[in-house]
Structure formats: C-alpha cells, structure tokens
Amino acid sequence: METLEKRLYEWFGYSSFKYNQRDIIESVLADEDVFSMIATGSGKSLCYQLPALWKKGTAIIVSPLLALMENQVQELKQIGIKKVAAYNSFLNIKEKKRILNRLSEYKMIYISPESLQQEEILKQISNLDVSLLAVDEAHCISQWGHEFRTDYLKIGNARERMGNPPCLALTATAAPEVREDIIDKLHMKSPVSICDTVDRPNISIQAIKKEKEEDKRTSLLEFTRNLPKPGMVYVGSRKKAEDLAEMIKNETSFTAAAYHGGMTKEDRHLIQQQFLLDEVQIICCTNAFGMGINKPNIRFVLHFDYPKDIESYVQEMGRAGRDGYRSSSILLHSDTDYFFPRRIIEWEFPSEEEVHYICHLLQAEDRANISKQTIESYGLEDVHARFMLHYWEEWRNTAEEHYPEDFINMVIKKRKRWKFHKLSQMENWISNTAECRRKTLLETFGECLRRQPNPCCDICGISESPAHDEDAAASRQFVPWQDRLYALFHQQQ
DNA sequence: CGCGTTGTATATAGATACAACGCGGTGCTCTATT
C-alpha cells in the first residue's frame, strides 16, 4: 500500500509509520472493529485521523476531556485539515445548530460521551454516513463509566443509532478484564486486537514501607533532593497536594507546585505549562493530572499515596521516562494508609438510605417526571443522582419486581465488591510481593517478563551506582531518532 | 459511608454527653447570576 505512505506524508508530514500504526490503520480501513493498546506517544490519534480522512463519510471521535478535543482540533487545523469540529459546551446555541445542520460536511467530529447522549445529536447522527466511531482513552469506559460518568456506558447504544459503524477503541493501559469490558460496552464483535507491552524497561520500580506519615514526608524530601528532576508526586487529596508542594518549596531549593481538580481552569493551565517548560521542577498532584500530558523528560514519579487499582498505578508511573532515559517509580506506604482508599470507594456510591428513598420515588412517579435535578433536590450529590438514574433505567428492564434491597445487593454491593477486590490486588502487590515486582505487575496484564532490565526493582535490587547503565542506554537506542527529535521539538514549545 | 472536629445543653463554674458538621479523585453540561 504505497499510497498509504503517500497520504501520511501529504496530510501529516511523516515519512514512515510507527510500530503497530500501520496494522491498526489497515484493519480500520478494512472495516474491522479494532481494540488497540499502544503506548502514549506512539501516535495513537493518527490511527483514527488518517482513516477518517481516507474513508467516505464522517468519523465520530469520543474524547474524555474538553481540553484534549480543543487541542486536537487546533493541531489538525494548523496542518491544514479544516473539516473538523469539536461539539461541546464551549459552543453557544447558534454554533451548535450550525454544526448540527451540516454534520456531513465534516471529516471528523470530536465529542464527549455526555454530548453524544443528547437527543438532538443522536437524531442527526442516525441520518449521517458515519465512517468510523473512535473512542480515545477507552479505558475511561471501564474506569469512569460504572460510577463517575455513566454516559460512557451508553456509547454502544449511540453506536447502534449510527447504524453500527466500524469501531476503534484506543488506550495505553488496560488489563484483560478491562479490555473485555470495553469490547462489551462498545458492542464490538470479534474485534482485531493490536497491543503493545505495558512494560517500561527504563523505569526502575520500588515500593518502600515507612512507619508513619511523618516518615514518608522525610523520605519524600530525601528523594526529591537526590533524584534527577523534573518529577511528579501523586497524592490522594487536594489538601495534601498543596501541603506537600509547600513543604518541598520550604525545605529544598527546588521549585514545586500543586495541581488538582479544585483549582480554576486558568491556574491548572498555568501550572501545567510551567511544568512542561521545566519552570516548575516538582508537581504535587491528585489523579486530575495526567491524561493528555506527554512530557518526555519526567525522571521520577513518586506515589505518596497509592491508587485504588494496579492499572491506575501503571498509568501514573508510566508518565516517567517517555524519552527512554533511565527513570524511577517510587511508592511510599505505611499502615496508616489503610482507611483512605476504602472511604473513597464508599463515597462513590449513594448510601443505602438514599437508595431506598430514591427507589420509592422512582417507583411511585412516572420516570419521565423525575430528572437529575429532582433527585439532587433530595440532597443527593450530582454523581450519585446520575448513578441512580442510569442504573434504575437498566434495572427496570431486567426484573419484574423492583425492590430497593435487590438494587442494593445486585448493583451497588456487586460493584463495591469488585472495587475492593481491585484495591486489595494493588495492596497485595505493594506488601506481599516476593518475586520481581516488574514480573508480577506484567502478570496482572497477562504478560510475561521477557528480559530483566538493570536496574529492575527493589526486590531484584536497585544499584545506586550509575555504572550499570547499559540497559537504560540500550532502551534509549530503541527510540527512533525521528521520535526523539519530535520529543525534543515539542519540549521546546 | 465512617471518622474526627466543633458546637451545644446541662447543671453549676469544669466536665461530660451527644448532636451536628465537615471531610474526601476524577468532568461533563445546563442554568441563573454577577
């Protein structure tokens, strides 16, 4: 397929495909459903952008963050691809109508799962020739869909309304159960699966036990002083992100800043830019920071609090060393960490009392009269209200009698059990790993460790001397010069 | 949800019991005000 290369150069200015890109694109062009797990920075977006331009019709691209959509649209327009739009709440009614009335004139429409559920857009899309439905950061379906953003679970229904176009799911991290969940929720039938390893040989892995929170702080300062920078510190709460950033600024000579979802958009953007430009050396953040960030030279990721599942851990530590140079992942833990993640899981669900109340309400009234606002007016949080509406709708289709007790047992308790299971899997890896950490980590992704890098992990032994750097050097050579140049160039911007 | 802090009443000047309140990741969208 010589013309594929020709178009790649003509449209995007690249002279060759990266590892796996061609396979994915060819499968998409053959109208296959494709599930693909490839590393961040290996050109995921091109995998739907090129087919979108190539094929007749309009591609719909589901994206989790408004900022990501805006970036992509802007970048495409800059390289001369103009028939693209983002359909979201940035638009006013006039602009929305304008786009709605001429959907078929676009080659790509970026959209959030929430906007995709609006009846106006579903109606228009059902008459549209949809060339491809692409879901970017598809692990969000599994990670966010069940409790936090339930519209992620409804993409499959929207797909049916479009007349079942071919579907491409893209992510950087997904364990086997998560892959199955994604494939199921997108109503994919025997998809082609194209996956990279999740192993990152240039990142050494450590989990270190400390007595108390105070000892974790001392250790954090020590690592901050001694490790190469820039670095990231992941914490569990907004307040702690700010506390630790303050502490690093006061106790060391390095620049630090906090980043979390409670900050204004402007502040978040500013801190992000400063970190990207190496003006801020250490960023202390909650899990709000990460998606869409492609900073190549992060030298360490330190987990001051551990995440609730192994995939999140792999995603977060994997932000280190994208340039291929030696980097560290360090996780600090202590017995006092036990309760926090458990409380957060409990908090994700409405209380039993609330469920009872809302179930009776939903049963007594005609469902059409009950909006999210009604449920919120009974004191439920935004997320819980959406949770109740989504599952109630599913629930009433599956059973004849609808008792709140059954709803609690079969919907809520089931999900909680699953979440606690994932949490203990994470904790087991932290506290009870007897073999190589890298090996056990890969096994949860259904992979084998093919070659042990040096340095590897705290169990295999971390050598302090930089003399054993052959592996970091070797992995560096794996990165083609074009990619390194690209990384350097983007670092400059 | 569950834990820790603050507030209030009681009955008497300091201490106790118990209720109320606040905390605690992730982001979309729509609507009504500054």
Could you tell me how far CA A69 lies from the centroid of its own chain?
14
Report how many domains make up chain A. Answer: 3
DSSP A27-47: HHHTT--EEEE--TTS-TTHH
For residue A433, tell me if it sits in a domain: no
Nucleic acid strand B: bases within 7 A of protein CB? 1-3, 23-30
pLDDT of residue A493: 32
**A134/B18 CA-to-C1' distance in Å:** 57
Q: Which nucleotide lies nearest residue A89, CA to C1'?
A: B29
pLDDT of residue A491: 45
**A398/B28 CA-to-C1' distance in Å:** 28
Residues A27 and A81 in one domain: yes
How many helices (H) and strands (E) would you count in chain A?
23, 13
Answer yes or no: is A67 CB < 7 A from strand B.
yes
For residue A153, tell me if it sits in a domain: yes
Residues A35 and A133 in one domain: yes
Mean pLDDT confidence for A357-364? 82
Distance CA A28, CA A167 (A): 8
Answer yes or no: is A447 CB < 7 A from strand B.
no
Residues A15 and A139 in one domain: yes
Contacts of A117 (CB under 8 A, 6+ apart): A151, A154, A158
Paired strand residues for A167: A133
Other CB atoms within 10 Å distance of the CB of residue A2: 6
Residues A272 and A181 in one domain: no
Task: Assess contact for A164 and A309: CB atoms under 8 A.
Answer: no
Average pLDDT in chain A: 90
Pick the residue with more confidence: A403 or A492?
A403
Please say which residue of A167, A195, A223 terminates a domain.
A195
For residue A430, tell me if it sits in a domain: no
Task: Assess contact for A30 and A132: CB atoms under 8 A.
Answer: no
> Crossing angle, helix A413-431 and helix A310-317, to 10 degrees?
50
Mean pLDDT confidence for A431-446? 96
Token pair belonging to A286: 């909650």
The A 15-54 residues near strand B by Cβ under 7 Å are: none
Q: How confident is the model at residue A2 (pLDDT cuts 50, 70, 90)?
A: low
Token pair belonging to A118: 């609006």
For residue A383, tell me if it sits in a domain: yes
Name the nearest CA neighbour of A459 among A239, A206, A198.
Answer: A206
Q: What is the pLDDT of residues A236-259, one digit of tens each?
A: 999 999 999 999 999 999 999 999
Q: Residue A401 is part of which domain span?
A: 343-421
Contacts of A474 (CB under 8 A, 6+ apart): none
Distance CA A263, CA A259 (A): 7
Task: Assess contact for A107 and A146: CB atoms under 8 A.
Answer: no
Q: Any idea what the CATH number is for the domain that residue A26 is in? A: 3.40.50.300
Residues A156 and A66 in one domain: yes
Answer yes or no: is A240 CB < 7 A from strand B.
yes
A58 membership: H or E segment, kind and range: strand A58-62
Answer yes or no: is A91 CB < 7 A from strand B.
no
For residue A448, tell me if it sits in a domain: no
Residues A114 and A182 in one domain: yes
Distance CA A306, CA A296 (A): 23
Token pair belonging to A407: 């709803």
Q: What is the pLDDT of residues A92-129, one digit of tens each?
A: 999 999 999 999 999 999 999 999 999 999 999 999 99
